A and B are shown apart, each in its own frame.
Chain A
Amino acid sequence: MVDLTPNRGMTPIVQTIAGWTKGLVFLFGIYIVLFGHITPGGGFAGGVILALTFVLMTLCCGKESALRKMPMHIAAELDSVGALMFLVIAWLGVWSILGGTFFTNYIAKWNRGLPYHILSSGTIPLCNIAIAVKVAVSLFLVFTLLVMTRVIHKPNE
């Protein structure tokens, strides 16, 4: 066997290819998030692609590799940060100078920007980023938890 680290993922061929591609997949996810208001995509699609990077690392190199990049407590905090970011963006609209209602697109009222440019459509890209962080970290958390859990019958417990 060439594999020097048993029970730590797949063969070195798969691990090397995954090491090359995981950065590209992450970059593609960021692109999908940032251009979500112009092209197909958005927070949900980009978020699940960002989570796919960690799923790839977990499947190919073992869960330690993914947990080294993003430990569990940081993931749990980022989950809350994504949700809070979305709420803060929404609450700023309640401020009467900006609009007066929840979820007002106050930046678009002030300056809509040029269509087909990345700096356009007000709060929508910011909301996209918040949703992407939330979805990506949630998916990573639940995937890692379910993969880590061993299903063993323990009748005496």
Chain B
Amino acid sequence: MLELTGVLLLFMVMAAIIAIETKDLLGAVISVTAVGFGSIIAFFYLRAPDVAIVPIVVEVVVLVILIRATLRAGLKTFIGNRPFFGYLVTVALLVVIFLAGIRVFGGLPAFGDPVVARIPDAPARAYIESGLEDTGATNVVTAVLLDYRAYDTLGEATVLFTSIVGAVAILRRKARKKPSDPEADEW
């Protein structure tokens, strides 16, 4: 099972490299959707069916929106990165960050040995043990989401609402001048 997850992650890395480096914008959009669908299968292997349902639809919506933004623009593709010296400095910096990250990840518990299995006082252990008695919900993820940590969900709803309002305000055709203007309600 661990090897399968590794193969999936390798597939995602390759799709990400193609998405970044290809010169065809449509190919890049489809490759980033491949990364997303690879993550969906990885969620299923990591025993997270709750999480795996959501990005299926999200990836489709992002694909359609990105294609819409890419195709109708009469697009001139252009090649080329930053100037050579700045590019070299950037890549060197990224490699340094990568190596430091490898060192940091060495201090984490090994993959497949989570905190909930090692520490008896971990909060997640309380959720697993007493979730059914406290809330009556057999799906522990929903119990955490809407009972134990409902503030998190409230904040998520606020952020989603704000971002949608921002998108609507940016994309609206004309600014609303007068409240009595009959054309002001046009989207």
The stretch of B55-63, B77-85, B175-183 that contacts the partner chain:
B55-63
The stretch of B13-21, B33-41, B90-98, B154-162 that contacts the partner chain:
B154-162
A36 closest partner in B (C-beta): B142
The interface on chain A, measured as residues whose beta carbon lies within 8 A of the other chain's beta carbons, has a size of: 56
Kindly list chain A residues whose C-beta atoms are within 8 Å of the C-beta of B157: 82-83, 86, 131, 134
**Cβ A37 vs Cβ B139 within 8 A:** yes
**Cβ A142 vs Cβ B164 within 8 A:** yes
**Cβ A134 vs Cβ B69 within 8 A:** no
With both chains docked as a complex, state the minimum distance between the C-beta of A55 and any C-beta of chain B, in angstroms: 6
Secondary structure of the B contact surface, majority rule? helix
With both chains docked as a complex, state the minimum distance between the C-beta of B127 and any C-beta of chain A, in angstroms: 14
Which chain A residues numbered 106 to 140 have a C-beta less than 8 Å away from chain B?
108, 112-113, 115-116, 120-124, 127-128, 131, 134-135, 138-139
With both chains docked as a complex, state the minimum distance between the C-beta of A70 and any C-beta of chain B, in angstroms: 13
A-B residue pair count with CB separations less than 8 angstroms: 142
With both chains docked as a complex, state the minimum distance between the C-beta of A48 and any C-beta of chain B, in angstroms: 4
Interface size on B, as a range, is 35 or more
Q: A146 and B69 in contact (CB under 8 A), knowing A103-B150, A124-B137, A138-B164?
A: yes
**Cβ B142 vs Cβ A124 within 8 A:** yes
A40 closest partner in B (C-beta): B49
Q: List 26 A-B contacts (CB under 8 A).
A: A32-B53, A37-B136, A38-B138, A39-B139, A40-B49, A42-B142, A48-B57, A51-B61, A59-B64, A79-B161, A79-B164, A83-B161, A86-B154, A103-B151, A105-B135, A108-B135, A120-B137, A124-B137, A124-B146, A127-B153, A131-B157, A134-B157, A138-B161, A141-B164, A147-B64, A148-B187
Please give the residue numbers on chain B whose beta carbons come within 8 Å of chain A beta carbons, in ascending order: 49-50, 53-54, 56-58, 60-61, 64-65, 68-69, 72-74, 132, 134-139, 141-143, 145-147, 150-151, 153-154, 157, 160-161, 164, 167-168, 171, 185, 187
